[in-house]
Amino acid sequence: MTVEELKELAEKETARQKQYKHRITYCSAAGCASCGGGAVRDALAKTIKAHGMEKDVELAGTGCMGLCGEGPLVRIAGDGTLYQRVDETVAARIIDEHIVQGKKVTENLVDTTGPFFSSQVKIVLENCGNTDSEKIDDYIAAEGYDALAKVVTEMQPAEVVEEIRKSGLRGRGGAGYPTGLKWGIVRKAQGDQKYVVCNADEGDPGAFMDRSVLEGDPHRVLEGMAIAGYATGASVGYIYVRAEYPLAIERLRLAIKQAERLGLLGNRIFESQFNFRVDLRIGAGAFVCGEETALIRSIEGKRGRPRPRPPYPSEKGLWGAPTLINNVESYANIAPIIRKGSAWFASIGTPKSTGTKVFALAGKIRNTGLIEVPMGIPLRKIIFDIGGGTPEGTTFKAAQTGGPSGGCIPAEALDLPVDYESLATVGSIMGSGGLIVMDSTSNMVDVAKYFMEFCVDESCGKCVPCRVGTVHIHGILQKISEGRGTTDDLALLEELCEMVKETSLCGLGQSAPNPVLSTLRFFRNEYTELVTTPDGYVPAGTTTEQSPTR
């Protein structure tokens, strides 16, 4: 394939879509599929056929449209009407009334002018809700693979790295390491064979951003990886994806096949000397494999156990070769940066955290779903404007970011801008983007215990602080939550948390105490209410009587 052929293909597809009078898109991602999305698609297709309008109406299954709690969702592309909680009857009415008679089905309308939509900026999710997730032509018509064409035919690898560096993009997996810097290190590393790895082992409970990107726009990730391959001199890429995401795996397999058939992956891409192929590796349910050295082990077919760094994977990674590891969302940002320029990207967000971040909003919040917001947006805006606040009758208590590695952010810190540094000041992390809202009914000691139980289960057992420490922290939390704890236990808990944090081998252990430490910091009264002094008295300063029950 040449650049001209790519342009031709895009034009042909645009012309084909213009033949239709209407384009109806329905969410085909896992969220809507799990609440009857398949039946809605069939009902839409059936009614279109009944009206004999197959040549006038195009039906396309797209990626996540955001409002996952109100699915299944159907969108009329022409006027942007969005319908929620669509079932088979409503689907038929959408065709009968909206398409045929031009009357909107008012009962199921979503107000698309509200803050849920107006406060969002879509870069990573720009195609979700618009292009068909299973058609490469649709992606190409939406400027897909343009960035790869530009890079391969017009730019030197060093220029690509420089462009990414200038954009200020930082790793979206959680730690926020500057992506351009990482690319530069791998590019300069010595080695005949280099690898590009996409970390799609989204293990944080409550996070489904990467899943939605892979299901909704798999080609965007492939394109980002191919550009990374060109920039770093790698010819092989691996996507390590969770086995729990069967739909994402299926879509990726299909996308790789489609891209190979068109010569957008494989040998001599755009008739250059650049070769790049992508393989899929399926995880098998181990949270620790999200850690990069453990992930490498797992791709090599071994137990996913981390090893000490340095050497970092950028020097010695997969089979000892220099390896670039980025997260799904990081790769998804690459193509737009190349297409629109680093200056455009850097103008979004804050100077130190540029661009946007995708969050999965869940928990005790009205609008659950997937959102993309510019970095630096206040947390209050995310939770109360976009999320619509907590359900009626309850008040906001805490927002949990970063999963088991993150912390709970209290109501006092709601005006905090969401960027890497600010979240760190309150003892949490950006994390991969799960944002769980807790209201007055949540007990914070229980929340800490819940996360610690997770870490006990998921600790790989290689280093002692993590393997033994997490078990003991969990034991103390159990004791406290049952009302058997003393003030000595609290002191021990804090000491133990610091120790596990300081001495564990990898990120899992180092961050495992975060939920405990952050709840101790902001919700200490919930702990002190449950403990007594070692000789059995209620400690001074506790207003309520000893109340072992929650």
Enumerate binding residues for other proteins (CB under 8 A).
30-31, 33-35, 68-69, 71, 202-208, 211, 243-245, 281-287, 298-304, 360, 362-364, 368-369, 400, 403, 434, 436-438, 442, 447, 450-451, 454, 460
Q: Find the DSSP H helices in 262-390.
A: 292-299, 328-340, 342-346, 379-380
Residue nearer to other proteins on the CB measure, 210 or 529: 210
Lookup result for tokens 């798999």: 218
Report in angstroms how near the CB of residue 202 gets to other proteins at its nearest. Answer: 8
Secondary structure in 3-state letters for 92-112: HHHHHHHHHHCCCCHHHECCC
Q: How many Cβ atoms are within 10 Å of 170's Cβ, its own excluded?
A: 26
Contact 454, 514 (CB under 8 A): no
Report in angstroms how near the CB of residue 404 gets to other proteins at its nearest. Answer: 8
DSSP annotation of 173 reads: T
* Cα–Cα distance measured from residue 414 to residue 381, given in angstroms and rounded to the nearest whole number: 9
Report in angstroms how near the CB of residue 266 gets to other proteins at its nearest. Answer: 18
Report in angstroms how near the CB of residue 326 gets to other proteins at its nearest. Answer: 20
Report in angstroms how near the CB of residue 339 gets to other proteins at its nearest. Answer: 29
Lookup result for tokens 């309008």: 53
- Tokens representing 194? 């280099």
* Cα–Cα distance measured from residue 248 to residue 246, given in angstroms and rounded to the nearest whole number: 5
Residue nearer to other proteins on the CB measure, 303 or 352: 303
Report in angstroms how near the CB of residue 320 gets to other proteins at its nearest. Answer: 13
- Reference 130, options 60, 35, 32, 231; nearest CA is 60
* Cα–Cα distance measured from residue 509 to residue 287, given in angstroms and rounded to the nearest whole number: 12
Residue nearer to other proteins on the CB measure, 299 or 338: 299
DSSP annotation of 94 reads: I
Contact 467, 433 (CB under 8 A): no
Residue nearer to other proteins on the CB measure, 233 or 406: 406
Report in angstroms how near the CB of residue 206 gets to other proteins at its nearest. Answer: 4
* Cα–Cα distance measured from residue 437 to residue 454, given in angstroms and rounded to the nearest whole number: 19
* 486 three-state secondary structure: strand
Residue nearer to other proteins on the CB measure, 144 or 410: 410
Residue nearer to other proteins on the CB measure, 74 or 160: 74
Report in angstroms how near the CB of residue 361 gets to other proteins at its nearest. Answer: 8
Work out whether strand 356-363 and strand 369-374 pair parallel, antiparallel, or are unpaired: antiparallel
Report in angstroms how near the CB of residue 495 gets to other proteins at its nearest. Answer: 26
- Reference 278, options 235, 316, 311, 312; nearest CA is 235
| Cα four-point dihedral sign 52, 56, 62, 65 | negative
Report in angstroms how near the CB of residue 7 gets to other proteins at its nearest. Answer: 36
* Cα–Cα distance measured from residue 304 to residue 292, given in angstroms and rounded to the nearest whole number: 10
Residue nearer to other proteins on the CB measure, 53 or 282: 282
- What interhelical angle do 444-458 and 514-522 show, nearest 10? 170
Residue nearer to other proteins on the CB measure, 264 or 361: 361
- Half-sphere exposure at residue 110, Cβ-oriented, CA atoms within 13 angstroms: 26
Q: CA angle at residue 313 from 308 to 318, to 5 degrees? A: 105
Report in angstroms how near the CB of residue 367 gets to other proteins at its nearest. Answer: 9
Residue nearer to other proteins on the CB measure, 287 or 420: 287
Contact 41, 96 (CB under 8 A): no
Residue nearer to other proteins on the CB measure, 258 or 298: 298
Residue nearer to other proteins on the CB measure, 61 or 304: 304
